Structures are given as C-alpha cells and as structure tokens.
C-alpha cells in the first residue's frame, strides 16, 4: 500500500514592500521528497484528485503523489522506479487510469513499455515492457509492439483488450484541453495588455517586468498573474493574486535564477490555483 505523505507545512505571515499584510490561511503547501523536482501536475477531476510526478535529478528515481481537491489534503504516494525500469514518465490520465512509459536513456527521446495504474484500486493493471505508448484516443491508448514496425494497436482500458488498429496514414499529436481546468493567457510584449500589466505589477509589487506574463481572471473575482523580473543572476519568477478591486491577497517569489520561461506555470481547478514553488513544493491557493 502507498505510504501516507507528511502533513503540509505552514508558511509565515509576511508583508509586501507596500506594507500590506498577507495571511497564509488560504494556502496549502506540500514538500516533495528531498532532491525531487515536480515535472508533471495532472488534475483527475473524476476523483477530485491532483497527481504530481516528482523526479530525483540525475537519478532513475521517481514518485507519484496524490492530493485531494478541493480540500488540498495529501492522500498517498507511490514509488514508480520500484516497478518501471529506466526513467518513468506519466504520459496521460484517462478517467481513473494513469498511463506511464519509460525512457531507458534520459539523453534520448526513445521510450519503451506501457504501465497503467488504477487510481481507484491503487494497483497496477497493465505492465508490459514490449508495448510502447503512442497517444490517447478517447478512452483508449494507441500503442506499438516491439519488433512490429508495420502495425499499431488499440488498448481498450475498460477491458484491457488489445486490437489491431486500422491503417494509419499519419499520427497527429495534439495538446489535450480539459473541461473544468483553466490555464492562463500568455501575454507577450507585443500584446497591448502588456503595458497595462507592467503598470499593474509596478503598483502592486514594485517590480519591473521582463519577458512574458501569464494572466488569468477567475470568475470576475480574482486576478492571478505569474511574471518575471531581473534577479541577481538571470530571472526570478513571482506569483501575484488580487481580488476584483486589485487588493493584494497573495504574493511570493516562486523560483529564481531562471534562464528561460515556462508556459502554463499555474492552473485553476475547483477554485484552487495550483502551482509549484522552487521546483519541489506543490502550492494550492484557495481563490474562493
């Protein structure tokens, strides 16, 4: 059985330069294991659950964490490398099934194996090294068998039956969009809104923007912004949350010494704003 995570730690109350005092009463924060970094954050709305994959840098060690939403409670954790050889990678979640493959060599893009974990039963239901994950198609998985380069196969998750796929002329890989999950808009310097956001950040946090800003308005009640500034070395990244009257509710540095920018730094699921701080802390802020 998976071990229960440690209880979330609490952050101290602190103040912005503007003198506005902020409380952490809306924030839940969870530490991953030492040396691990969060590489995947996937909501599973059918189970009101959030999955996080943590990976130990430079090692074939990986953990799958599960958190309850919207209460933001740690549920369980699972050692992936105990079963999956190489470097495990969470590829997709279909309803209550988490689908993994692995990278035998992390320096190469080639993957092998298909491993499926039933999140309700908390047990592995498919463990095949010779089958390779290609992509999801509805409630099925398109896959290939080692040594058979001429055919694709379909795995029906409900029955775990395998059938030959019709002849494919090409494979179109698309980014999935999930109902009930809100992602921010990406605002670049060429966007007229960038000037307004520059003034907004300057007023609320006394910071000067660099690079792209991620921006989301939630139910006309909250404004959520992720932005970058020039740090001592490279870029520092911040998260800012205000109410509809632009009163600051939450503000913190979430990473530093970055050489590039990431997309979809945060998401909103069931009134919870979800993001990662310092690569190994899951943060969940209740926007209600």
For every residue of 235-271, DSSP letters joined together read: EEEEEEEEETT--EEEEEEEEEEESS--S---EEETT
Give a yes or no: residue 191 inside a domain.
yes
CATH label of the domain that carries residue 102: 2.130.10.120
Residues 188 and 258 in one domain: yes
pLDDT of residue 177: 56
Number of domains in the chain: 2
Residue 237 contacts residue 228 (beta carbons within 8 Å): yes
Residues 159 and 208 in one domain: no
Q: Which 3-state string (H, E, C) describes 138-191?
A: CCEEEEEECCCCCCCEEEECCCCEEEECCCCCCCCCCCCCCCCEECCEEECCCC
How far apart, in whole angstroms, are the C-alpha atoms of residue 253 and residue 228? 9
Give, for all 288 residues of the chain, the pLDDT tens digit: 333 333 333 332 233 333 344 557 899 999 999 889 999 999 999 999 999 999 998 888 899 999 999 999 999 999 998 889 889 999 999 989 999 999 988 888 888 899 999 999 999 999 999 998 988 888 899 999 988 888 899 999 989 999 998 876 555 555 555 778 999 999 999 998 999 999 999 999 999 999 999 999 999 999 999 999 998 888 999 999 999 999 999 999 999 999 888 889 999 999 999 999 999 999 999 999
Structure tokens at 20: 């506005």
pLDDT of residue 23: 59
Give a yes or no: residue 227 inside a domain.
yes
Cα-based torsion angle of the residue sequence 222, 199, 257, 212 in order, rounded to the nearest 10 degrees? 80
Residues 250 and 146 in one domain: no
pLDDT of residue 253: 96
Range of the domain at 251: 184-263
Residues 140 and 205 in one domain: no
| Cα–Cα separations (whole angstroms), residue 57 to 1, 35, 220, 280 | 25, 7, 40, 11
Residues 45 and 144 in one domain: yes
**110: three-class secondary structure by DSSP:** coil
Give a yes or no: residue 285 inside a domain.
no
Residues 130 and 232 in one domain: no
Residues 159 and 189 in one domain: no
pLDDT of residue 108: 84
Residues 126 and 189 in one domain: no
Residues 84 and 190 in one domain: no
Give a yes or no: residue 149 inside a domain.
yes
């Amino acid at each position: 059985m998976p071990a229960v995570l440690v209880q979330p730690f609490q952050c101290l109350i602190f103040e912005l330069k503007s003198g506005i005092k902020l409380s952490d009463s809306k924030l839940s924060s969870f530490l991953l294991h030492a040396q691990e970094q969060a590489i995947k954050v996937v909501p599973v709305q059918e189970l009101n659950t959030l999955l996080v994959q943590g990976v130990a840098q430079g090692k074939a060690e990986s953990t799958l964490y599960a958190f309850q939403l919207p209460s933001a409670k740690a549920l369980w954790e699972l050692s992936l490398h105990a079963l999956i050889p190489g470097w495990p990678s969470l590829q997709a979640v279909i309803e209550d099934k988490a689908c993994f493959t692995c990278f035998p060599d992390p320096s190469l893009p080639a993957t092998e194996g298909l491993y499926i974990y039933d999140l309700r039963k908390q047990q592995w239901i498919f463990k095949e090294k010779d089958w390779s994950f290609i992509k999801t198609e509805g409630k099925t998985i398109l896959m290939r068998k080692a040594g058979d380069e001429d055919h694709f196969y379909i795995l029906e998750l409900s029955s775990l039956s395998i059938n030959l796929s019709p002849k494919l002329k090409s494979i179109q890989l698309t980014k999935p969009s999930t109902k009930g999950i809100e992602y921010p808009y990406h605002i670049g310097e060429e966007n007229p809104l960038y000037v307004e956001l520059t003034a907004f950040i300057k007023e609320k946090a006394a910071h000067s923007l660099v690079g792209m800003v991620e921006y989301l308005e939630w139910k006309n009640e909250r404004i959520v912004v992720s932005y970058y500034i020039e740090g001592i070395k490279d870029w520092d990244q911040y998260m800012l949350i205000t109410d509809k009257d632009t009163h600051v509710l939450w503000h913190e540095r979430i990473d530093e010494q970055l050489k590039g920018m990431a997309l979809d730094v945060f998401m909103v699921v069931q009134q919870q704003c979800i993001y990662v701080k310092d690569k190994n802390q899951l943060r969940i802020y209740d926007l209600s």
